[in-house]
Chain A
């Protein structure tokens, strides 16, 4: 009887101890963040300012028409679904923390769609911006990054009519690059990976605000910016950007407009492409061969001439499209490699991977000597389909 009461007493003590300790561990999912104590950042624009950096945040505003920010000295404006917050700091992290002086809530970066870096910041040292993004545990390597032609704040402040979250628009424009292949989808991971090699430069999609004929301003992707040694080197236009994508095997869509010799144009839809880079020189004259192969469909033939799409027409068309692609790739190489000294194509890495003995001799000066690389471009294509008719309309 005594033993039973002792056992019962022990059980009761153990139960009370559990009831005291368990609430500590039953506090719910540990990494949860209360929405009302955090501001979800959808977009971040980085510019230089008097005190270091001027940052423009697009913060998601869950209440339509409500204000998410406020502050006596804040530069805030509220649209229906985003609040714009501008702050400055000596470093990026300092600026992020200074945002709480205006906002009252900590910024939450795990849902950020777009990081836009101003042109001036890229000219100085892009590395400083990258370090903040690489080190922060909330910022994902799969987030997109852009360069603004001008100020990043202008891009962040731009809102298209009907667009719920402007940063989402940027993300979608980038992800749908396959429709034109004139825009490269660049994630932070691509920049980190290139930087880690020590010999590969990066291209970043460029955004510009352009004025239309009717005076309205519109935001659009406008080629890409080229970095050299983590400094801004220059821009590539649409065709040069696509040339870059041909060499990187990233041109998986878009349209080739071919001028036909007897008049008219043919629109070729790019279906898929791949490229292979091989090294064929020595340490005195490094040479690289780029083999590009791609498939297209004939989707439109605009001409006064009455063409019949037969074997000879198709072989001429094939030749024309190969010359067009070769010209685009060559234009990209001339601009990026020769003019800007930027190895955005990864030629240095290819030499390192395939001929490390030669890389050992030329690698230390690759950043200066990449432009001396002889590049030979070979193109091969297949026209897969011609549509439902073999005549011009």
Chain B
């Protein structure tokens, strides 16, 4: 059984920040914004506020039961049976997200690096590395994530500074000329990408004593929103409507980056992106396994990791060969429903049950 580890608030914020940046712009071409790409910028402030609202049930639940994740809270409130069912749901949800990330990684690898390579081989190799990280534990994941966050920030700073002369602020006009349709669709897309709200809840028990849940969450939300906004700002002002049809707009920005005689710095973006992919897949699989460990499988951690890795591998291979599905899944309303169910509805039901149970017990005590 894994020894209980603790990580700092800053590490949690950095790990969640970096995993949120992974698909910051990859799905933009699905929105088909064309000359109205600037409308998508305003989805970032909206999501900043929405993230606070959607996290309320989770944060309240965690505050009532400090040191426990949502599965443990459910087991405590509703019993082990219901808790186990919830654990399985969360396990599958995290695994699906890990598979989507892996599938996208396989696609990105063959689209931008070596088209001849078998995509499943790419996924296989990266999953071996990720499973190793899963077995090492949350401290290793958090430390690695912090380092990756620093590397990613340095990469972004280089890109931002070198592309500043190419910015054309006129591309920010006109705003909302066709209404709010592009704003809504990009907001939905960003909402679908906010798995980190749930990941935060599962990482909360590992927070060192003295750390504030609310401050940590606010810190993550603010940092992520600022960097996402800057990324989108550069995509809009540098590439304009050309960026709206690009599969990987950030990759395009990196390709245009030039510092003195050093040009085509997309290689440094690729390095950061691949490291980011590894940490994201590792984190999702780790959190998936941590759900099932609470159901009594804590002695089978390694077997669980292996089974989860195999499942992610097969689902990711299927997804990477169904490119339409991979693109649409994040943009779809069905995925929004799934996100809402896992992030809001389940914690809300558990929270309400806890409040009612508390009142009933209080009344019984008073009597």
Contact = CB atoms under 8 A, between A and B. Distances in A.
A364 interface: no
A25 B128 contact: yes
A21 interface: yes
B11 interface: no
Contacts of B239: 193
B245 interface: yes
A356 B174 contact: yes
A126 interface: no
Contacts of B113: 30-31, 137
B115 A137 contact: yes
B140 to A, nearest CB: 17
A196 B171 CA distance: 13
A24 B127 CA distance: 13
B256 A141 contact: yes
Interface of B: 34-35, 109, 111-115, 117, 125, 128-129, 170-171, 173-174, 177, 239-242, 244-245, 252, 255-256, 258, 263-264, 270
A196 B244 contact: yes
13 contacts: A24-B125, A31-B270, A137-B115, A140-B255, A141-B255, A142-B264, A189-B242, A196-B241, A198-B35, A352-B174, A353-B171, A353-B173, A353-B174
A340 interface: no
A137 B35 CA distance: 24
Q: Which 10 A-B pairs have the closest CB atoms?
A: A196-B242, A353-B173, A196-B241, A356-B174, A31-B113, A356-B177, A193-B242, A137-B112, A192-B242, A353-B170
Contacts of B114: 30-31
Contacts of A25: 125, 128-129
Chain B CB count within 10 A is highest, among A110, A189, A350, for A189
Interface in A135-168: 137, 140-142
A354 B34 CA distance: 17
A346 B239 CA distance: 15
Interface residues of A, number: 23
Interface string A348-376: 01101110100000000000000000000
Mostly helix, strand, loop or mixed at chain A's interface? helix
Contacts of B34: 196, 198
Interface in A166-199: 189, 192-193, 195-198
Contacts of A137: 111-113, 115
Contacts of A141: 252, 255-256
A227 B240 CA distance: 20
Contacts of B109: 30
A142 B258 contact: yes
A193 B117 CA distance: 31
B173 A193 contact: no
Given A30-B113, A31-B270, A141-B252, 6 more contacts: A30-B117, A196-B244, A352-B35, A353-B173, A353-B174, A354-B173
A142 B263 contact: yes
A193 B264 contact: no
B165 to A, nearest CB: 12
A368 B125 CA distance: 55
A193 B128 contact: no
Given A137-B111, A142-B263, A197 B125 contact: no
Nearest to B37: A196
Contacts of A31: 113-114, 270
B240 A196 contact: yes
A30 B258 CA distance: 24
Contacts of B117: 30
B313 to A, nearest CB: 14
Contacts of A349: 170
A79 B144 CA distance: 51
A197 B174 contact: no
Contacts of B129: 25
B67 to A, nearest CB: 33
Contacts of A30: 109, 113-114, 117
Interface in A35-76: none
A184 to B, nearest CB: 16
Given A25-B125, A140-B264, A350 B256 contact: no
A21 B128 contact: yes
B126 to A, nearest CB: 9
B256 A189 contact: yes
Contacts of B244: 196
B26 to A, nearest CB: 15
A318 to B, nearest CB: 29
B111 A197 contact: no
Nearest to A193: B242
Contacts of A195: 242
B175 to A, nearest CB: 9
